[in-house]
Structure 1
Amino acid sequence: MERIKLAIEKAKASRADLVSPGGRSPHTPGDTGMPVDQETTARDGDTPDDLGSVQYAQTAVVPMDPAHLERHRVVAHQKAHPASWAFDVLRTQVLQKMDESGWRTLAVTSPSVESGKTVVAINLAISIAQQTNRTALLVDFDLRRPSVARSLGLNRPKSLNDFLDGHASLAEALVNPGIERFVVLPTNRPVNSASELLSSAKVGKLIKDLRERYSDRIVIFDLPPVLAADDVMSVLPRIDCVLMVVGSGVSTQTEVEEAMNRLSKANMLGVILNKDESPTQNAYY
Structure 2
Amino acid sequence: MDRLQEAIRKARDERASRQTEPPVPPEAPQPVLPENRGGTWDALPELQIDQHLITRNRLIAYHGGAEAAPYDMLRTKMLQQIQSNGWRRVALTSPYSGCGKSTAAANLAFSLGRQKDLRTIVIDFDMRRMGLAEILRQTGNYSMADVIHGNIAFQQHALRHGQNVIFGLNYSSTRNPAEVLQSRAMIETLERIEEEYQPDIMLFDTPPLMASDDSHGFLKNVDCALLLGAAEETSIDHIDVAEQQLAELTKVMGIVLTKCRYISEAFGYEYGSY
State the TM-score, normalizing by the size of structure 1.
Answer: 0.75
Selected match of 1:139 from 97, 100, 123: 123
Residues 157-236 of structure 1: pairs in structure 2 closer than 5 A = 157-177=141-161, 179-236=162-219
Q: Secondary structure at the match of 1:263?
A: helix
Given that 1:158 and 1:172 are in contact with CA atoms closer than 8 Å, whether structure 2 keeps it comes out as no
1:59 aligns with 2:39: no
Q: Which runs of 5+ in 1 are unaligned?
A: 1-35, 41-56
Aligned mates of 1:151, 1:241 — CA distance in 2: 24
Selected match of 2:133 from 143, 149, 160: 149
Counterpart residue type for residue 43 of structure 2: Q
State the TM-score, normalizing by the size of structure 2.
Answer: 0.78
Structure-2 change in CA distance of 1:38 and 1:186 (3 Å): farther
Provide the residue aligned with 2:256 in structure 1: 272
Residues 244-283 of structure 1: pairs in structure 2 closer than 5 A = 244-265=227-248, 266-280=250-264, 283=267
Aligned mates of 1:190, 1:211 — CA distance in 2: 24
Given that 1:88 and 1:127 are in contact with CA atoms closer than 8 Å, whether structure 2 keeps it comes out as yes
Provide the residue aligned with 1:124 in structure 2: 108
Structure-2 change in CA distance of 1:127 and 1:96 (3 Å): same
- Residue 270 of structure 1 deviates from its aligned partner by 0.2
Given that 2:44 and 2:155 are in contact with CA atoms closer than 8 Å, whether structure 1 keeps it comes out as yes
Counterpart residue type for residue 255 of structure 1: H
Per-residue CA deviation, residues 117-141 of structure 1 (Å, 9 max, x unaligned), is 1111111111112111101111000
Aligned mates of 1:282, 1:242 — CA distance in 2: 30
1:39 aligns with 2:40: yes
Aligned mates of 1:139, 1:190 — CA distance in 2: 14
Identical-residue share of aligned pairs (%): 25
Counterpart residue type for residue 106 of structure 1: V
Q: Secondary structure at the match of 2:193?
A: helix
- Residue 281 of structure 1 deviates from its aligned partner by 6.9
Q: Secondary structure at the match of 1:244?
A: strand
- Residue 282 of structure 1 deviates from its aligned partner by 6.5
Aligned mates of 1:107, 1:281 — CA distance in 2: 32
Higher helix share: 2
Q: Which runs of 5+ in 2 are unaligned?
A: 1-36, 270-274
Structure of higher CA gyration radius: 2
Provide the residue aligned with 1:99 in structure 2: 83
Give the total of aligned pairs: 232
Provide the residue aligned with 1:31 in structure 2: none
Counterpart residue type for residue 88 of structure 2: R
Structure-2 change in CA distance of 1:67 and 1:89 (3 Å): same
Given that 2:149 and 2:185 are in contact with CA atoms closer than 8 Å, whether structure 1 keeps it comes out as no
Q: Secondary structure at the match of 1:83?
A: helix
